[in-house]
């Protein structure tokens, strides 16, 4: 099962890369392809429209009902197919009969405006769907077995009890923890009155859903009913927590760890930073000049090695992490009150070498791009 979890994480990583390559196209002309959530006739649904021209998706061509939707209440998929000769119309098929049509009216980066029409009565129901997105990016695949578009797991999540914890604070900003019973997953709900609160809470709840699925798959590989979360030898836990929050940006930490039956336990983390005004992801590497990244890395390595040697004292020369640190050029970034923190993200066999290296805004000044200069200037006011 550890292979499944790692495979899922690799898929997410590869998807992030492919999303970066296609984001410009999608930005110019968003399409309905991907996973959407909303309501139809007052009932919660999840729909997925697959791009028939997507060569990557054909890898999973053996999986049925790739383009489909389902009611979370019933979890039975209803197939969707593009109507021949009409690009913006999808037919729904149930028991080999066309039971309705989805007329795509307008698509934006995050919303889908649709008119659903019943074939028998002609009744039309307008609806606005929202593209499924969590902290790691879009989930565009319609893979029904292990992806987000999974009727069984969605129904399980839909029926699970969500606990809302006590109100907490970071930098005088209020939030509340969310926890899903029996799924070992927690996230949070932002309580501050910020422009992007609705958008960010949507992302955070979706992260809770995807993390819960991963945890469920870890200890429940055969989709068997498990009433006791500790009844399986395998287990996985996930959480989301804020590590920085001011009036303009918020940085979040997503942790996943467990033992799914592989050679050893695993621990995976990811940081993301978001604009609290627009609800869009902030790519912190864009705050730095591309031509100066090499010199910036040298500064990070110097501070990391110094910190490591200060920690180990006389045994520093035998510290195997020093070579790992010197060869590393990849970091995860997040904001702090004093500057930017660069976090090592080494493979499992050398995770003991992971460290957080904080560079102050004054140290970062020579490496900033114009965008970074403006952002740091705003942070320091």
Condensed to tens digits (0 to 9), the pLDDT of residues 108-118 reads 989 999 999 99
The answer on 319 and 269 residing in a single domain is: no
Is residue 149 situated within a structural domain?
A: no
Q: Is residue 3 part of a domain?
A: no
Looking up residue 252, the CATH number of its domain turns out to be 3.30.565.40
CB atoms within 10 A of CB 89: 15
**Residues 80 and 96 placed together within one structural domain of the fold:** yes
Q: List the helix and strand counts (H, then E) for the chain.
A: 7, 20
Residue 233 lies in a domain: yes
- In degrees to the nearest 10, what's the CA dihedral of 2, 3, 4, 9? 90
Whether the pLDDT of residue 245 is over 70: the answer is: yes
Read off the pTM.
Answer: 0.81
* Band of pLDDT at residue 17, cut at 50, 70 and 90: very low
Task: Give the alpha-carbon dihedral of 113, 117, 123, 124, to 10 degrees.
Answer: 10
- Is 170 part of a structural domain of the chain? yes
Please determine, for residue 179, whether its predicted confidence score (pLDDT) is greater than 80.
yes
Cβ partners under 8 Å of residue 115, min gap 6: 102, 103, 105, 124, 125, 126, 127
* Average pLDDT in the chain: 82
Instruction: Name the one residue in this structure whose structure tokens are 């952002």.
Output: 375
For the chain, how many residues are written? 381
Domain identity same for 189 and 96: no
Domain boundary among 250, 280, 310: 280
Q: Report the CATH number at residue 319.
A: 3.90.640
Same-domain status, 109 and 132: yes
Q: What is the pLDDT of residues 343-379, one digit of tens each?
A: 998 887 778 888 999 999 999 999 999 999 999 998 8
Banded model confidence at residue 326, pLDDT cuts 50, 70, 90: confident
298 and 365 share a domain? Answer: yes
Domain stop point among 105, 138, 171: 138
Please state whether beta strands 339-343 and 356-360 pair in parallel, antiparallel, or not at all (unpaired): antiparallel
The predicted structure's pLDDT at residue 9: 44
In angstroms, rounded to a whole number, what is the distance separating the alpha carbons of residues 111 and 109?
6
Sign (positive/negative) of CA torsion 291, 297, 300, 305? negative
- Candidates 339, 337, 342; CA nearest to 354 is 342
Q: Which two tokens stand for residue 365?
A: 């000044």
Domain with 257 in it: 161-280
Q: How many domains does the chain have?
A: 3
Residues 133, 49 share a domain: yes
199 with 133, same domain?
no
């Amino acid at each position: 099962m550890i292979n499944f979890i790692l495979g899922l994480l690799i898929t997410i990583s590869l998807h992030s890369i492919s999303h970066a390559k296609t984001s410009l196209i999608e930005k110019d002309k968003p399409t309905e392809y991907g996973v959407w959530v909303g309501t139809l006739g007052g009932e919660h649904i999840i729909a997925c429209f697959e791009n028939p021209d997507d060569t990557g998706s054909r890898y999973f061509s053996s999986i049925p009902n790739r383009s489909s939707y389902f009611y979370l209440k019933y979890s039975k998929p209803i197939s969707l197919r593009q109507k021949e000769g009409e690009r913006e119309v999808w037919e729904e098929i149930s028991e080999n009969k066309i039971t309705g049509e989805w007329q795509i009216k307008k698509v934006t980066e995050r919303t889908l405006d649709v008119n659903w029409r019943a074939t028998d009565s002609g009744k039309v129901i307008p609806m606005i769907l929202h593209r499924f997105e969590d902290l790691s990016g879009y989930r565009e695949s319609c893979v029904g077995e292990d992806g987000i578009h999974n009727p069984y797991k969605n129904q399980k999540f839909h029926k699970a009890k969500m606990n809302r914890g006590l109100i907490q604070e970071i930098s005088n900003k209020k939030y509340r923890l969310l926890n899903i019973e029996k799924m070992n997953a927690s996230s949070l709900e932002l309580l501050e009155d910020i422009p992007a609160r609705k958008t960010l809470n949507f992302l955070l709840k979706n992260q809770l859903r995807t993390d819960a699925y991963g945890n469920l798959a870890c200890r429940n590989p055969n989709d068997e009913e498990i009433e006791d979360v500790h009844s399986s030898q395998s287990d996985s836990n996930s959480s989301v927590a804020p590590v920085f929050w001011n009036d303009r940006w918020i940085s979040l930490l997503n942790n996943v760890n467990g033992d799914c039956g592989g050679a050893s336990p695993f621990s995976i983390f990811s940081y993301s930073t978001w604009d609290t005004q627009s609800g869009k992801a902030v790519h912190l590497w864009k705050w730095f000049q591309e031509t100066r990244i090499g010199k910036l890395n040298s500064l990070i390595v110097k501070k990391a090695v110094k910190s490591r040697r200060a920690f180990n004292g006389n045994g520093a020369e035998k510290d195997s992490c020093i070579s790992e640190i010197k060869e590393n050029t990849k970091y995860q970034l997040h904001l702090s009150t004093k500057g930017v923190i660069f976090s090592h993200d080494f493979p499992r066999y050398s995770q003991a070498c992971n460290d957080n290296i904080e560079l102050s805004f004054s140290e970062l000044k020579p490496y900033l791009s114009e965008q970074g200069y403006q952002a740091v200037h705003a942070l320091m006011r």
